[in-house]
């Protein structure tokens, strides 16, 4: 309940912008499907990666464009050809659990306001520990995710 009140207060303080609302929605969706089992620090670390990509000239410059980046066939993402696996896994992208969604929305607001996990500073990539994409530039492990910077 306290987290919800803090999130509502934080949202009231942010200037209204449809683009900001869209970014919050896309980030919430990504954190739910990519990191909901990681706890607050792991979810914030994934949010930091998304925001690092937004800042980088190598990636799209909006949160939704970053998390929905990948190959498309018409308006449909090509299965297993996306930067964030949940986006093109063929399953629904609607967050089904409102209680968890509220907690994630709070973390999203913190991330968009500048909260960071120092261990993943500069990271633009991560993956689950059990896959091996062969990336170089490892900087940290948080929960089940390995984080990288300088990946080409």
At 50-79, the pLDDT tens digits run: 999 999 999 999 999 999 997 778 887 777
Q: Which two structure tokens, joined as six digits, stand for 54?
A: 């937004």
pLDDT the model gives residue 71 = 76
Domain spans in the chain, listed from the N-terminal domain onward: 2-148
pLDDT category of residue 152 using cuts at 50, 70 and 90: low
**CB of 3 within 8 A of CB of 106?**
yes
Are 133 and 107 spatial neighbours (Cβ–Cβ below 8 Å)? no
How is residue 105 written in tokens?
């929305």
Note the Cα 1 to chain centre separation in Å.
Answer: 24
The whole-number pLDDT of residue 1 equals: 43
Q: Read off the pLDDT of residues 80-94 as tens digits, 9 standing for 90 and up.
A: 777 888 887 777 778
Check: pTM over 0.75? Answer yes or no. yes
């Amino acid at each position: 309940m306290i987290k919800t009140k803090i999130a509502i207060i934080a949202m009231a303080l942010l200037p209204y912008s449809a683009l900001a609302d869209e970014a919050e929605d896309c980030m919430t969706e990504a954190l739910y499907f990519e990191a909901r089992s990681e706890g607050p620090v792991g979810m914030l670390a994934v949010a930091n990666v998304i925001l690092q990509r937004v800042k980088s000239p190598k990636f799209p410059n909006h949160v939704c464009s970053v998390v929905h980046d990948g190959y498309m066939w018409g308006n449909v993402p090509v299965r297993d050809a996306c930067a964030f696996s949940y986006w093109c896994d063929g399953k629904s992208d609607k967050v089904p659990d409102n209680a968890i969604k509220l907690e994630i929305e709070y973390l999203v607001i913190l991330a968009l306001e500048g909260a960071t996990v120092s261990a993943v500073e500069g990271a633009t990539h991560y993956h689950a520990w059990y896959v091996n994409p062969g990336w170089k530039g490892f900087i940290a492990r948080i929960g089940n995710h390995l984080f990288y910077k300088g990946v080409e």
